[in-house]
Structures are given as C-alpha cells and as structure tokens.
Amino acid sequence: MNFTDREIVSLFFNVARLSRNIPGTKGNDLLPFIGQYRCLLLLENSGPINQKGLADALQIRPASLGELLIKLEEKGLIRRTPSEKDRRSLIVSLTDSGKEQLRGFHRQREQAYCDMLTALSAEEKEQFYQILSKIQDYYLQKEQHD
C-alpha cells in the first residue's frame, strides 16, 4: 500500500477530530460548556488569579468573564474573594467541588482515550508508540533549534 504524505496527515487529523466526539472526552457529562471547562482548567493550572488576569489568559472580555464566573459560582465550582493587596480586585480560585469535577473529567477523558486503543493489537500499539515518539522527537528537536 502506498499512501501520500497528505493522505496520512489527513487521516491523522480526521482521527483526532473524531476522537473529540467520543462520549466522555468533550466534558458534556460534567461541564456542558467548553468556556466553563477552559476557565476551570486554566484555574487548575495557574492557581488563584485575579479576574483581569483570567480574562486576559482566556482572551475574553471582562464582561463575558463576569457572566461565566457567575455561572461557575452558582454551581459551586469557583469562589471570588477580594484581593488582600487591592480590595477592588477579585481573586478567582477553584473550590474543592471544582477540583473534584476536574479530576472526574480527567479520569473519564483518560479512560475514553485509552479505550480507543482497544482496536490495536499489542504489536500495533508498540509500533504506534514508536512512530508517535519519533514524530514527537522531531518536533522537540525542531523547537530547540528555533
């Protein structure tokens, strides 16, 4: 079988697109809106952050963020507290419930992704791993030289 590079790359991205539609990978069971998930994920990675910094990081308008935070606060996933340095500024942080929601989502998503590999034999998984590692190494080396 001979495939062009374009066909291989197209297939790769098609599989990646399809994988986003697997139940359990989109967050629909836990968080119905991707904006809410992005906000929680950013808070998980950054820790507590002021609203302006959060709006900048999410690349959304402060007014839009305000609406988003109200929804997350109503669900008990985040809390906003006045900054000790500047009482006019609010610090946004995850609640324990928000952290647990994210842990559950991560577990669910990881299981869904692992389930994708059930179509492969042990030998195919090894080959797939080696190929992906080789592609990753290529990009890491390229990144170091740029």
What pLDDT, on the 0 to 100 scale, is given for residue 97? Answer: 96
* Average pLDDT score over residue span 97-117: 88
Q: Does domain 5-120 have CATH number 1.10.10.10?
A: yes
Local structure of residue 3 (DSSP, 8 states): -
- At residue 32, the pLDDT reads 55
To 5 degrees, how large is the angle CA 100–CA 58–CA 56? 125
CA-based nearest residue to 89, from 55, 61, 52, 43: 52
H helices of the chain, in order, are: 5-19, 34-46, 51-58, 62-74, 96-116, 122-145
Nearest alpha carbon to residue 40 among 2, 93, 90, 85: 93
Residue 27 is predicted with a pLDDT of: 46
Q: How far apart are CA 129 and CA 61, in angstroms?
A: 41
User: Which of 23-27, 34-38, 103-107 is the least confident region?
Assistant: 23-27
pLDDT of 133 > 90? The answer is yes
pLDDT reported for residue 131: 94
Average pLDDT over residues 25-39: 66
**Closest to 104 (Cα-Cα) out of 63, 44, 144:** 44
pTM of the shown model? 0.68
pLDDT exceeds cutoff 60 at 41: yes
In this prediction, residue 22 has a pLDDT band, given cuts at 50, 70 and 90, of low
